[in-house]
Amino acid sequence: ETPRRYAPMGGSLAPVQVAGFTWNGWQPSAVYAAAQVGTAYLLCAETKTSVIHRAALQSEQASHTEITNVFSGRPARGIVNRLIIEQGPLSARVPDFPNAAGALAPLRSEAEKRGKGDFSPLWAGQNTTGCEEISAGEMTLKLAGAQQTS
C-alpha cells in the first residue's frame, strides 16, 4: 500500500485538489505544474475539446483566466467569458455542485448553437501559450524535452 502523504498548505497538512483530482504526496508547486501540463494538451488531436473551447484557447481571450465557481459550483480556472464577467469569478449565488452545470445548461446550449462560448466552461491553466495542435505523443515528447533542458 502506498503511504498517503500531504502537501503543506498554510502551515497545516492537507490533500491538494487540482482540476477535480486530489493529489497526495506532491509539493504544491508540482501540483500547479501538473495543472499547466494538462492545459498544454487541450489542443491535441486526441482531446475532445469543443470547437468553441479550441477557438478560445487560440484567441487573445486565453490570456485572461480566473478561478471561478460559476460553471460547476466548485472553483476551477477558466478563460474569462461573459458569464464570469457578469456574475463575478466567485459567486455566492451559484448553486452548489453538481447543480450549477444543470442550471446553466439551457443558456450554454443556446449560446453554443450560435457558436458562442459566453456560457461555456473554457477550462485552462494560467498559461495557454504551450497549447499546440499536435498529437498527445508529440506533446509529451516536447514537454519531456523541455524538462530535460531545464
What average pLDDT score do residues 114-121 get?
98
Per-residue model confidence (pLDDT) at position 143: 85
Lowest mean pLDDT among 29-33, 36-40, 46-50, 116-120: 29-33
Q: What is the pTM of this model?
A: 0.75
Lowest mean pLDDT among 11-15, 54-58, 75-79, 125-129: 11-15
SS3 of the chain: the string is CCCCCCEEECCEEECEEECCEEECCCCHHHHHHHHHHHHHHHHCCCCCCCHHHHHHHCCHHHHCEEEECCCCCCCEEEECCHHHHHHCCCCCCCCCCCHHHHHHHHHHHHHHHCCCCCCCCCECCCCCCCCCCCCHHHHHHHHHHHHHHC
| CA dist., res. 118 & res. 132, Å (int) | 23
What pairing do the DSSP bridges indicate for beta strands 7-9 and 12-14? antiparallel
Q: Which residue has the higher pLDDT, 114 or 30?
A: 114
Question: Taking 60 as the threshold, does the pLDDT of residue 12 lie above it?
Answer: no
Instruction: Write the burial class of residue 124 (CB in 10 Å: 0-12 exposed, 13-18 middle, 19+ buried).
Output: buried
